[in-house]
Each structure stands twice: as structure tokens, then as C-alpha cells.
Amino acid sequence: MKTKEIRELTVEELNTKLKELKEELFNLRFRHAIGQLENPASLNSCKKDIAKVKTILREKELAAK
């Protein structure tokens, strides 16, 4: 997911996206634990996407003050 795409989302959409990414990370970790994960790099990319969303949420929070 591109940072530019994330910045265009509203706060509500960002919160929804964050929830979806956390669920996806849980599923990826579960599949990794049972040995069914084909691409282990997807764990890192999911974690990075979560960090991007959280960072932009924080930026928007600070800008609103």
C-alpha cells in the first residue's frame, strides 16, 4: 500500500483499514505457525502497512489540534 493512497483516506477509513490490517496480520501469523504461509515476506509488509497507517493517523491527530 502506498503512503500517498493512505494519506487520501479519512480518519474513519484509516481506523477501518487499521482493523483490517491487524486481522490480516493475525491470519498471516497463524498460517505461518502451522506452516501454510507461502510468502513469509508478507508478514513484514503487513507490519509496515500497519505502521504507515498509525503514523498518518497520528499526523492527522496532531494537525487537528
Q: What is the pLDDT of residue 50?
A: 97
Residue 64 has pLDDT above 90, yes or no: no
This prediction has a pTM of 0.92
| Torsional sign, CA 26, 19, 2, 63 | negative
Number of domains forming the structure of the chain: 1
Measured CA to CA in angstroms, residue 57 lies from 7, 14, 38, 44, 60 at distances of 9, 7, 31, 20, 5
**pLDDT per position as a tens digit, 35-44:** 999 999 999 9
Range of the domain at 58: 3-64
- The CATH number of the domain holding residue 42 is 1.10.287.310
- Summarize pLDDT for 6-60 with one digit per residue, the tens: 999 999 999 999 999 999 999 999 999 999 999 999 999 999 999 999 999 999 9
Could you tell me if 18 and 1 are in contact, meaning their C-beta atoms sit under 8 angstroms apart?
no
Contact at 8 Å (CB) between 40 and 32?
yes
